[in-house]
Structure formats: structure tokens, C-alpha cells
Amino acid sequence: MKDNQLYQTFRDLPKIDLHRHLEGSVRLETLIEIAGDSGIEMPEYDAETLRPFVQMMPGETRNMQHFLGKFQTLRQFYRSPEVIHRVAREAVEDAAADRIKYLELRFTPAALSNIINCSYDEVVDWVCEAVDEAAQANDITVRLILSMNRNESVEKGEQVLAAALKCQHKGVVAVDLAGNEANFPSSPFLDIFRRAKAAGLGVTIHAGEWGDSANIREAVDDLGAARIGHGVRAIENGELVKMLADRGIVLEICPTSNYQSGVVDSWAAHPLADLWRQRVLTTINTDDPLVSGITLTDEMVRAVSHLSLTVDDIKQHTLTAAQAAFLPDSERAALVNKFAVWLGMNHGNGEIPPAS
């Protein structure tokens, strides 16, 4: 199938994104308007001159520092509750426009509140409100994940957990540990994640992206992660791959992000298909649509054209994503049924279940 046919095929499919950062999902045009309104200094107030500050360009250096540099610029834009409301609403609209039907959107309260100087509770409330309104208006279900950074203090992590617990009834379903995993251990956050899990929140941990595979084992065994953000470096350890497959741990794979941040040397070296063939539950996600200049449809096209998966494999990945949603059991089962029907698949019992 040619790329444009593939694009149309995946564009039309109902989709799920489990790993998308709000901070990396802003529209370029919105940034320009905010820069103009707030007097943020830019070389020029034009999309093409702003783009290289916030998006990876072809031929750019591919490493972690360079990739993260784009967020340094992005963090300057969160100037008011109105900006946060708008960015959250547009992120949901953009996902819906790509025919994503279920989205778990994550954000770091510290990143959104540092300029406004408000509490985490306030910023989380604003995002919950905006997302709820936008989801209802755009025929998409959205849940939220709150991230804390391992390179920041445990005290901040405690505040993130407190905000997550307060907003559980408003759509927050899980907590995430992000940040520099190569140089900062997860151990100081262990107790926070144990309490999160005990309180019914989902746990997903960024691991095995810039740090080695030992971080993945630690995330599963010690922090209780049911899902791993990225986890691609599991491929370096055969025993770990088997453990992930046996225990049904889900990897939230973001192929273009891995390529652009230099986690893999080339597209050919990306382990998605290899992990999938070794029975690991892999899913396909975007990470940061603005920074990477992609949609989820683009990621699915690349998984076929660059990573040797088939269209049916991608459908299976979508069904896996439904099964891995951080939802109460009955809602998750309904989501799985809906997707099984939409994708024309059964899910193990030989029958296509009725739509709910």
C-alpha cells in the first residue's frame, strides 16, 4: 500500500492515544497569538520562524538535550488561566480531528503553573474543566494523567499526588513519573506511587527511554507500574522482555519521539516490531505532536512503512490500547467492545461483541 493510501486508512480508523503530553501538543498558531499578546520575545511572529524553536526539524541533532530544549521555549507560554484553558481545549479538538476516540492526556502541573504562580490544584482544575467541555463537544472520551519529574523534589511529587486524588472524580485517572531517568533514580518516589495505586489511581512510569532496561524492572517491581512510557530499551534484556510479556505489562511506544530524541540510531533499529513479536503488549502513541510535528495517524503510517508492521497489526495495537486504558473495569470493557466492533475484530472469544 502506498503511503497516501495508508494515511487514509489510518486517518479513517477510530484510534486511541495513551501517551500524549499536553505541553507538547500546542498549536503553532496559538503560540504565535500568545507570544504577540503577552510580549514573549521571538525573532519574528511568524509560524515558520517560530517553528524551529518548538519543533524538531529535518536534519536536526537527535539527542535528549536537543529534544528537551524545545520544551524550554514552550514553558514560557503558560501565562494565564485563559491560555491553559485554550491549550487544553485545542489539544482535545486536535485529537478528535484525527479520529482519536479515547485519549489519555498527561501534563506536569509544575510546568503549567510556574509562571502564573498558582497552586497545582488550581491548574489541574482548569485543565479538567477545559478538557471536559471540549470532549463533550467533540465526541471523544478524554482522561487525564498527572506527571511528576524525578529530577524535581519529592515534595512537589506529593503535591501532584494530592492534586490527582482531589480530582479523581473530575477525570484524573493516573499518575506518571517523567524527567531525567538516566541520572535520577525513582526510589525517592516509591511511597508516592504505592499510595497512588492503593487509592485506585493507575501508575505509568517513563522508563527504558533514556535510561537502561533496569529502570523498567524497577518501575514494574517497585513502583507498581501497569504501563511503561516508552520502555523500548527492554529489548536489551531478553529476560525482561519475557517478564513484560508474561505479566502483561503494556508499553506506550512513541516511535517518532524515540527517533528524534536519539533513543534509537535509525528507524531500522526501532524495536517495536521485535517486542511485539516477542508477545509484549505494545501500543502506538504520539508523545508530543507539536514537538515532533506528527499526528497519531502519521505514527501508524510510520509503524507500517518504517517498522514492518501490517495494518492488522496496528488494529491489534489499538485493541491492546483499549484493554490498557486506565478506566474502571466496566468502562474499560465497554471501550474494548466498542473498538472491537469499529475495527471489525473479535477479542479472543471468537465473537464480535455488540456495540455498547
Indicate which residues carry an active-site annotation. 209
DSSP 152: S
Nearer to Zn ion, 17 or 287 (CB): 287
CB atoms under 10 Å from CB of 297, counted, come to 21
CA–CA distances in Å: residue 303 to residues 3, 76, 99, 181, 313: 11, 33, 18, 26, 10
254 or 343: CB nearest Zn ion? 254
> Minimal distance in Å, beta carbon 147 to Zn ion?
8
**Residue 102 or residue 210: which is nearer to Zn ion going by CB?**
210
> Could you tell me if 327 and 173 are in contact, meaning their C-beta atoms sit under 8 angstroms apart?
yes
* For Zn ion, the closer CB: 218 or 287: 287
- Taken in order 332, 272, 60, 69, is the CA torsion positive or negative? positive
Q: Check if the beta carbon of residue 301 is closer than 8 Å to that of residue 6.
A: yes
Q: With beta carbons less than 8 A apart as the criterion, state whether 130 and 105 touch.
A: no
Q: Closer CB to Zn ion, residue 124 or residue 177?
A: 177
Give least dist CB 346 to Zn ion, A. 32
Write out the three cell numbers for 176. Answer: 506518571
Distance of closest approach, residue 37 Cβ to Zn ion, in angstroms: 29
Q: Strands 202-207 and 15-21: what pairing?
A: unpaired
Query: CA-CA distance, 126 to 116, in Å (whole number)?
Result: 13
Q: What 3-state class would DSSP assign to 119?
A: coil
Binding site for Zn ion (CB under 5 A): 229, 287
Q: How far is the CB of 254 from Zn ion (least distance, A)?
A: 7
Q: How many CB atoms lie within 10 A of CB 58?
A: 5
CB of 206 to Zn ion, least distance (A): 6
